[in-house]
Amino acid sequence: MNNIAWIGFSLSALTSAGSVLLSVALHRKFENLKKSLPVMRPAHQDSAFPKMGSRLPAFTVRAVDGTVVSSAEFETGPALIAFFSAGCGACAEQFPALREAVAAHTYGPAPLAVVDGPTPELRAAYVAELTGFVRVIEGDDAELLRGEFGVKGWPTLVLAHDGVIRAAGVSMRGIAAALGESPMVR
């Protein structure tokens, strides 16, 4: 019996040591993976947001409905621009709040939804969901706007007034909290 107990103890110790080594290896792998994907960090990190108080960047893009959208439209009145990435669950969670904000308030220019993603197939569901209550920008024009605004995380919602960024955040509620008011710019 003594030998059987010793064998059982040895196997248990080896299994425990193997689990620890596997856990350490997986932790290192995930840490390395996080470092290799800096563009995917959450939008709540300050560096991921367009800078408050700065002027909107100059741009001219084409919406999915074919209309031309220019930064000149955003020089007067309130404006809402939302950046989403296809497949981002947190982005899709913002659609109802965005729809509510658009329905409850008249913005100067019609709000924009900028849908990013690697392929048209991945973007299609978001474009379909958003089309009709906001102007949708996708593809190369979405990539251009993301770069011009300095967006590095999704979702990012930007509220501007008279061409100046007043607030940016990951949610309509977060923007409202930052402004100390409702999510609709008055």
Do 84 and 155 meet the contact criterion of CB atoms below 8 Å apart? yes
The contacts of residue 51 (CB under 8 Å, 6+ apart) are 150, 165
Question: Residues 121-150: pLDDT tens digits?
Answer: 999 999 999 998 999 999 999 999 999 999
How far is the CA of 184 from the CAs of 29, 53, 74, in angstroms? 43, 18, 16
- Could you tell me how far CA 123 lies from the centroid of its own chain? 14
Q: How far apart are CA 9 and CA 128, in angstroms?
A: 60
Question: Residues 23-53: pLDDT tens digits?
Answer: 666 566 656 544 443 333 334 445 668 888 9
Question: Residues 71-109: pLDDT tens digits?
Answer: 999 999 888 999 999 989 999 999 999 998 888 877 778
Task: Output the pTM of the full model.
Answer: 0.71
Mean pLDDT value of segment 110-127: 93
Which of 19 and 151 is assigned the larger pLDDT? 151
Q: Which of 102, 67, 53 lies closest to 81 in space, CA to CA?
A: 102
Alpha helix segments (H runs only) across the chain: 2-36, 89-93, 95-104, 120-130, 140-149, 172-179
